[in-house]
Chains A and B, each alone.
Chain A
Amino acid sequence: MEFGWTEDEEAFRCELLDFLRETLPQDWEEIAKDGPGSDVQATFSREFCGLLASRGWLTQHWPREYGGRDASPWRHAILGEELWARGEPRGPQYMNVNWIGPTIMAFGSAEQKREHLPRISRGDVLWCQGFSEPQAGSDLVALRTLATRDGDAYVVNGTKIWTSYANYAEFCFLVVRTDPESKRHRGISVLLMPMSLPGVEIREIPSVVGERYFHEVFLSDVRVPASCRLGPENDGWSVVTYALQFERVGAARYARAALTLDGLATRLAKEGRLEDPTVQEKLGRARAICEAARLLSYRVIDLRAHGQPPSADSNVARVAGTFADRVVGELGLDLFGPDAFEYGGFAESNFRLAMTAGVAVGATEVQLNLIAQRFLGLPQE
């Protein structure tokens, strides 16, 4: 056990920070305030990910045969930490490199790997994820979107919801039911669906989180080539659970929360409020929570670095990250009061992004169930 960085990791972080200073525009903080799903960030991400890719950093943790450099998971974690601490200039592409690519590596056909992995590795493709449905939220296996085999294609009908980035994405990691008689975990398959197919319709769901944050994706008789199926027919649940283990800690949200907290402290210092012991206590509390989330996320990366299979440690890290997001989001409002009411301000922007923390990517309650049963060994209800 030790908590240091290797020389290589230190050097990489320095090089990365130099690169970010040169690459990110002066007004980046302003651009970043709407989060990875905003128009500017999604657009910027194509250029930026291309630059990361040309340095060999975008997918450095991937195997060489798929466009990576066999780099340690720690180097990729450093990348994620520094980028999330700057509002994630990769935009939606953090999903591609963290879990969509690795899931295609694990389950994809040779043709699928050839089609998708080089593009992800070059940083010029956007994806969205088709998981939730109006009747299948936390209870994902209640999903109903039906893919009926017809010759060399699946005819897909159904509705996906809460789909971030659907408006930009070229592909959707789509979870469907291929056996209409099936129940729950059986009969599910995954399709790598081009969003340009006829019958795919996207509608924005206006929300308080921000513009173009949520979408509904309507699928009406969409003919998806059977060659787009990822993994076995009717056993797609194994693909989904594999992907979710990566997704849950893929985003270094603790780094964003910690950055926001530093930003709050800087603003409080300007107002001379850091002398206030109550303010100090609130900031100290939030900082400690962010730090715990950092180490619990590191624990998951450490397991990966040791070649361990995904475990409930990723749920522990996810819950800790949610605490951090929530505490910092709420604190910004507490400290600035009605000044935070104005849309687009620092505390307000962060609050908007933070308030979805316990719901996005699986409700906290589901994470707690998994911790109870798999981490603590408690009996199923």
Chain B
Amino acid sequence: MDFELADDQRAIVEAVDTLLAQHAGPKRAIELFVSGDYDAPLEAALGKAGFLEVALAAEAGPLEAALCVEAVARAAGAVAIGASALVAPGVAGRMLPGPVALASADASPIVRFGAHARTLLVADPQAGSARIVALSAGDAEPVRSNFGYPMGRVARALKKSGERLAPGSHERLLAWWRVALATEAAGTMRAALGVTIDYLKQRRQFGRSIASFQAVQHRLAECAVMVEGARWLAFEAAWRGAPAEAAATAAAYAAAAAARVFLETHQLSGAIGYTREHDLHVFSMRLEALRLELGGVGGHRRSLARTRWGGAA
């Protein structure tokens, strides 16, 4: 048990942070928001530097991949790194042509990164497996959305096509998807809280910094407890290779925390928090997208309870 980064892990995090400082950040995310584009240059840079393959590297693994995913989320990168760097290696055991999007066969047709993806990883419980679907341009149409990621509409028939992986592989997909979601939410929450705290420290009302009010401090402190908890749960689940219970635990906790962090950061930031000139929305709107994905908090909690104590779906 060791919560500090080892030297090689620190090197990875520092390198990916350096790359992100050049290629990502809230300003870039706002530009992409407006155009609805995918950050292909960022994905290319991450791929070229090897950060998408960390989970498969001999001297690294899924925890190191999760560290990269968290860093990209903190920097508001508009790339599907959770799917590429954590889920694809975990489910297919290899890299898949990116961008990679994740979908459930029987859930909503609206899929994060759906319109830009070249590979769709589909959980198909009915078929009892996961599917890998190769997508071509135009297969899925873009969906205008305010929720911080480029979204696409993927037809059900498309989700039911493609190569079926081994029986039961959909369970592995759901577990890794939950770990990826939790990790992205952890990084996004951390950034949302950081943006909020920076603003509240300098914003003065009633002749003092808003951050000095106890009513404000207690809410931020409670958020901090949740953000820390979400981060460690996600990292532990990644390190353990996404066992179903740990994965559902991380996702259940992160999804609930995301709802709370959205509420508190916006309430405390006031009107400026809703504007495109302020960075909060870059992270907060994504939190809403993340907390609703894959059945939302209720689905994660039920999955956790069933895995731990039994009971039918």
Contacts and interface: CB of A to CB of B under 8 A. Distances in A.
Given A3-B1, A274-B309, A299-B232, A319 B63 contact: no
Contact of B228 (A296, A373, A380): A296
A58 interface: no
Given A281-B301, A283-B309, A378 B217 contact: yes
Interface in A277-303: 277, 279-285, 287-289, 291-293, 295-296, 298-299, 301-303
Contacts of B232: 292, 295-296, 298-299
A299 B218 contact: no
B304 A375 contact: no
Interface residues of B, number: 53
A180 to B, nearest CB: 31
A1 B217 contact: no
B201 interface: yes
Interface string A1-44: 11111000100000000000000000000000000000000000
B224 interface: yes
A211 interface: no
The dominant DSSP class at the B interface is: helix
A135 interface: no
A379 B304 contact: no
A376 B229 contact: no
A373 B209 CA distance: 14
A376 B220 CA distance: 8
B193 to A, nearest CB: 8
Interface string A44-63: 00000000000000000000
A139 interface: no
B249 A287 contact: yes
A281 B305 contact: yes
Given A292-B253, A320-B229, A378-B212, A3 B221 contact: no
A292 B229 contact: yes
Interface in B270-313: 297-298, 300-306, 308-312
Nearest to A72: B1
A268 B9 CA distance: 43
Contacts of A295: 229, 232-233, 236
Interface in A345-374: 365, 367-369, 371-373
Contacts of A9: 1
Contact of B63 (A2, A299, A367): A2
29 contacts: A262-B309, A269-B309, A269-B310, A279-B311, A281-B298, A282-B301, A283-B301, A283-B304, A283-B309, A284-B300, A284-B302, A285-B256, A288-B253, A288-B301, A291-B233, A295-B229, A295-B232, A296-B232, A298-B1, A299-B232, A302-B2, A302-B4, A319-B225, A369-B218, A371-B225, A372-B218, A375-B224, A376-B224, A378-B201
Interface of A: 1-5, 9, 74, 262, 265-266, 268-269, 274-275, 277, 279-285, 287-289, 291-293, 295-296, 298-299, 301-303, 305-306, 316, 319-320, 323, 365, 367-369, 371-373, 375-381
Pairs A-B, 9 closest by C-beta atoms: A284-B301, A292-B229, A372-B217, A274-B311, A295-B232, A371-B221, A280-B305, A284-B304, A288-B253
